[in-house]
Amino acid sequence: MRIIAVSDTHNQLDQIEIPDGDVLIHAGDATMGGRYQEVYDFASVMAKLPHRYKIFVAGNHDLGLQDHPERFEPLLREAGVTYLRDSSVTLDDVKFYGSPWQPEFYNWAFNLPRGPELGAVWSKIPGDTTVLITHGPPQSILDLVSRGERVGCDELLAAVIEKKPKYHIFGHVHECYGALERYGVTFCNVSTCNKRYAPTNPPFVIDL
């Protein structure tokens, strides 16, 4: 199975050269403000891509998916996109689990306080997950912002160490695009846009 992974495309998915593969993953922040037209345009681009399976997890900029899921989620379904919100899908015997939540970050979408509330969210990750998709990073893993602060989630890191998916795919922190292996897990920050919101980082290609 060939997985193509992107994140943080911010209304610029149509400007990115996306390789072919079996599964296309978008790990959130498809839009700038999550307005209906933005989500509609994103879904339209996704519908045209040739990948057999398409998975999306929302990010903090995708406000409409938090505030009006009844209006926005059908746009994704009609485009053939599997939208994961604290849920999983098994494709060709590979289990993917996705969740949009992150530690509180200004007044954006899918924010929760650090501590027990986030811990409860991550406790839902199935133990047999192969590919975990979140919008935000775990603590101290590809989460360093330009002001020198690490903004990842401690509770998410603890859950990943416990559940041990083969891959953990996320975005959110534009400055930390890249991959590393730790705790027996391959972590991939697949943010497409750089700090200036220019789509300069190429999609990740993962062969399972």
Asked whether 177 and 200 are in contact (CB, 8 A), the reply is no
- pLDDT value at position 105? 79
- pLDDT value at position 82? 98
Is the pLDDT confidence value at 146 over 90? no
Q: Look up the pTM and report it.
A: 0.97
Q: Which runs of consecutive H residues, i.e. helices, occur in 2-81?
A: 36-48, 63-67, 69-78
Is the pLDDT confidence value at 85 over 90? yes
Per-residue pLDDT reduced to its tens digit, 17-27: 999 999 999 99
- pLDDT value at position 160? 98
- pLDDT value at position 40? 98
- pLDDT value at position 107? 85
CA torsion 55→189→194→172, rounded to 10°?
70
Query: Which backbone phi and psi does 92 adopt, to 5 degrees?
Result: 50, 45
Which CA distances in Å does 184 have to 136, 161, 181? 19, 8, 7
Rg (CA), the chain: 15
Which CA distances in Å does 189 have to 8, 27, 85, 111, 117? 10, 9, 19, 19, 24
**33 falls in which pLDDT band (50, 70, 90)?**
very high
Per-residue pLDDT reduced to its tens digit, 56-74: 999 999 999 999 999 999 9
